[in-house]
Every structure is written in C-alpha cells, then in structure tokens.
Amino acid sequence: MVEGYSALYIFMLAAFTGYEVISRVPVILHTPLMSGSNFIHGIVLVGAMVALGESTTVMQQLIGFFGVALAAMNAVGGYVVTERMLGMFTGKREVKK
Amino acid sequence: MTGHIIQISYFIAAVLFIFGMKGMSSPLGAQKGIVWAGAGMLLATLVTFLDGNIIKNVDHRTVNYILMIIAIAIGGGLAWVSGKKVQMTDMPQMIALYNGMGGGAAAAIAATQLIGGHIQSTTAGTLAVLGALIGSVSFSGSLIAYAKLQGILKGVFSLPKHQWITYSVFAIAVLMGAAIAATSGMFSWIVVLFFVLALLFGVLMTLPIGGADMPVVISLFNALTGLAVAFEGFVLNNAAMIIAGTVVGAAGTLLTQLMAKAMNRSIAKLLSPAPPSVGGAQEVVGSMREIGAQDAAILMAYAQKVIIIPGYGMAVAQAQHKVWELTQLLEEKGIEVKFAIHPVAGRMPGHMNVLLAEAGVNYERIFDLDEINPEFPQADVVLVIGANDVVNPVARTDKSSPIYGMPILNADMAKNVVVIKRGQGSGFSGIENALFYKENTKMFYGGGQEAVNKLIAEVKQL
C-alpha cells in the first residue's frame, strides 16, 4: 500500500503539516499540547497489535505482548491526562458566562 | 474488502489526528481537539482488532488474541487509573512516563520484526533499526526523566568521563544497528546487545541533565517517539502510523524549540551539560526584611493594583484555591488583581495555567511575561508565592550568574513586594535571589496554604 517514494512524500507532507498546525500555539497550551501529541503517537498500538498478531514463537509473543501493553498505556494515559487538563480550561469558561 | 475498510479507517483516523492537533493549538477548540483525536484512535484500534488477518498464522490465532486482550487490559487499565489519579502538579512526569511507553512499544515492534524475519529489504531493515534505536532511547530516557521529576532519583549523576562513555555507547549501538540492517536482523546476540546499548544510551544521556531542564528533554523525547512510530509505520506499511508519527515528530520538534526558547536554554547545550560550576556568581549583600500577616494584608487591601506571581511552590502547597479566594476578596474591595505567569512557571511551559485553571482562575486575569512586565512599575503590591528564579533580578544584571539572560518577571520594579516563602533556602537552581534582599521586599514566612489563609483572615477584618 505504501511503497518506496510515495512513503517519502507522505513523510515530507506530514512533517510540514505537523510543523504548520502548531506554529502559532500560545504558551498556555504548551503542556496540554505536548500531552495531546503524546497521545497521538499512541497509534503505535495499532502497529503493536499487528506485530503481536504475526508472532509465531514464544519470544516474539513475549515482546509483542509487552509492545501492546506499553502502547495501550501510551494511548490511554495520554488521552486521560490531556482530557483532564483541557477539561479544566473549558469548564471554567462556562462558569464565567 | 476488509483491506479497504482498514485503509479507509486509517485514513479517517489520520485526518482526525490532524484536525485534533489543530484544535488543541488554540484555547477555544482545545477540548474538542482531543476528543476528535480520541475518536480517530478508537476507530483505528477497533478496526485493527476486528480484522482477522492480523493473526496470519492460524495455529496461533487464539493465543495471540488472548495475549492481545490481556495486554490491552493491563496497559490500558494501569494508565487509566494512574491518569485519573495523578495530581496536576505531577503532570510533567506523567506525560514523560506515557511517552516513554510509546517509545518502548515502537522498539518492541522493531524487535518482533527483526527476529521474526519479516524484514524484506535493506531499506526496511534500516528504518526498523532507526526506529528501534530512537524508541529505546526515548523509553529509557523518559523513565529516567520520570524518576527525576518524581523525586525517586535525586540530584545529578555522572560517571567519570561521562560524555566519552555516552558517545562510545552510542557509536557502538549505531555500528551494531548498521550490521543488523545490512543482514535483515534475525535473532542473534547482536540484536540483543543492540537493544541493551540503545537503552543504556538513553539512561546515560538523561542522567546528567538537571531537573530544571527536564521539560525540554521530555518534549524532545516526545518528538523522538513520534519519529520512531513513523519509522515502524514504514516497516509495517501502515500509513496511519507514518502520518501520526511524523506529525508528532515535527510538531514535537517545534514545541521543543519553543519551550527551550521560553526557558532560555539551547537544546544542544542542554544535551551536553558542562559540569556544574559552583560559585563564581556575585554574592548578594544585605539582609531580608520580615513582615507579618497583618501588615501584609494591610499593604494589599489598600493597594490599587496587585500582581500575583505564582510559582511551582504554590502548586506543591496546593495553595492555588486559597490564592483564588484571596483574589476574589481583593476584587470585592475594588482592587485590580492580575496574575503574572512566567513561561516556565510550574514545571513546564503552560503548566501553571493548568494549575490555576484547576482552581477556577479564568484566563482574563492571567498575563504572560511580555504583557505584564511593563505594568510592574504601576503595581502597588506584587505578591510572589512559591516562585523564585523567575523573579531574580540577577538574571538581568549579573553576567556570571547561571541564569543570566533568562527573561524574568520584573517584580523588583513594583512599589512593594511581598514574598511568601517556606524558609530562607534558595530556588530550584540553587542561586541566591537578589529580589529578597531589596529594600521594598518583605518576606512573609510560612507554608503556602497556611500563609494565604492568614492573609485571607486579615483582609476580611479590614
């Protein structure tokens, strides 16, 4: 599906996208945004699941198992803490109104 | 057919991630942003899970599925509980921890691909090895960062000839990686040793870095994990991983630069710290003046304009709610109260805003360095609570000081400064604070919460 040079193009465009998307972020959002981007690379969970699925030896299963567990921590933890932090920003705005 | 469903789902997930990230970069769309990104993640994970083809070998289908469910339950469960429980003050190290897990996962994917013989080409091998190296470094480095900020590891560690050892370990790891990439892996002692060295490098690299620099390092590891995920995405032919990983890699790099700039630190310097130079900085002469709760309350209650400078110490003392109560009291008396936030107040840029938001302080009252600095000369009282280095005028005046050149809040220009402080010690950087010795500065000793409580009681009586 993703072959050679097209992968390179995806890489280049995604890099520009990432850079542009947050180029004007205010300091107050640095911490939540870092946490949020931390959550997004939790997509590694999908890869870890595939890797575990392909495993045929005990060694591979063991490593794959750890991979999935770690990735799940990344994804779930990243979401929970980001949501909590950002939730406080919004909750307060409603109080103000 | 399932192939199409998977690809379309990954595509939608990638779009949601980018929109989510865009949303998170402005205060208005922030919470919507994380929810969108979350939806994308859920979609990608569910579709992958339900795709029977991910278990290629029928003999292992049941076992692998069971393993997968257990791993997700354990990892997800632990993270859910810890993420819900963690105090806002401890957020930076928690982000470091979750980030490290992602790096470890990317390394684990590389390991299964290398030893499972799934690597088809030298290109794939090279990317797998690169991702493994970066992911491992991010994993072990983030764990050290976590341990340091959590207070499990105290102080700065370094071996004799530390840098030399660190670079050697890195060089050997790279050589082994090259060998693995050239031979497409397979299970051997070289692969094991490669991972051990990569992990060791992450530890050695992070150990000598001081706690104050840690936020920038955590942000850097965040970007690195993104990159590792992207590389493993190439290996697995997974476009969602490539896009999400790369976007985070690029955004994280920019964020790291912004943070380093806000903290007045260069990334290169930070990663090769010189041995700490003790002394050299000018001695601060003079004595501190103490003030009681009543006098401090009078100063504030008869002021026209009060600026509050909160620091990490306030958050540790859990005094932000009390500070907010005091603010409301003063405002009822018609006093203008503003909060001045240094970019690195708290443990990382933006951390203090989160802590104040938790207490219910809305952000019309919160001003950053550039906005508030011209207002200090008009302020009748500046209340410094739990902040230290960020108000040290030495940063403007003393070239020999380690914090020279760091942008600071010009609290010393106000008519009166009241500093709430637990004791007479120096700040995170261990530097004497010249502000505390100034004539218009009064020290109000006490734990953050208790001190503000006393102030509230006194202000109420006036």
Q: pLDDT tens-digit profile of A31-89?
A: 888 999 999 999 999 999 999 998 888 999 999 999 999 999 999 999 999 999 888 77
Catalytic (active site) residue B389: yes
**B349 to A45: CB separation less than 8 angstroms, yes or no:** no
Chain A residue numbers touching B23 (CB-CB < 8 A): none
Sheet holding B416-421, edge to edge: B366-368, B336-341, B305-310, B381-385, B416-421, B441-445
DSSP state at residue B339? E
Closest Cβ opposite residue B82 in set A31, A39, A77: A77
Q: By the 8 A CB rule, do A40 and B16 touch?
A: no
> How high is the ipTM of this complex?
0.91
In a 10 Å sphere around its CB, with 0-12 CB exposed, 13-18 middle and 19+ buried, how is residue B262 labelled? Answer: buried
Q: What are phi and psi of B125, to 5 degrees?
A: -60, -45
> At residue A89, what is the residue type?
F
First-residue to last-residue Cα distance in chain B:
76
Q: By the 8 A CB rule, do B330 and B306 touch?
A: yes
Nearest to A37 by CA among B82, B249, B233, B140: B249
Q: What is the distance in angstroms between the Cα of B72 and the nearest Cα belonging to chain A?
A: 5
**A41 to B343: CB separation less than 8 angstroms, yes or no:** no
pLDDT digits (tens, 9 = 90+) for B401-422: 777 777 888 888 888 898 888 7
Q: Which of B69-73, B75-79, B216-220 has the lowest mean pLDDT?
A: B216-220
Taking the CA atoms of B259, A72, B178 and B251 in sequence, report the sign of the dihedral they define: negative
pTM score, whole prediction: 0.84
Q: Determine contact: B353 vs chain A, CB below 8 A.
A: yes
Chain A residue numbers touching B31 (CB-CB < 8 A): 83, 86-87, 89-90
pLDDT digits (tens, 9 = 90+) for B307-336: 999 988 888 788 888 889 889 888 888 888
Chain A residue numbers touching B351 (CB-CB < 8 A): 31
Q: What are phi and psi of B219, to 5 degrees?
A: -65, -40
Closest Cβ opposite residue B60 in set A1, A4, A56: A56
User: Which of A 33-92 lie inside 8 A of B, CB atoms?
Assistant: 33-57, 59-61, 63-90, 92
DSSP state at residue B290? B
User: Which of B 136-195 lie inside 8 A of A, CB atoms?
Assistant: 139, 187
Give the whole-angstrom CA distance, residue B249 versus residue B228: 9
Cα separations in angstroms, B74 against A66, A75, B44, B128? 10, 13, 20, 26
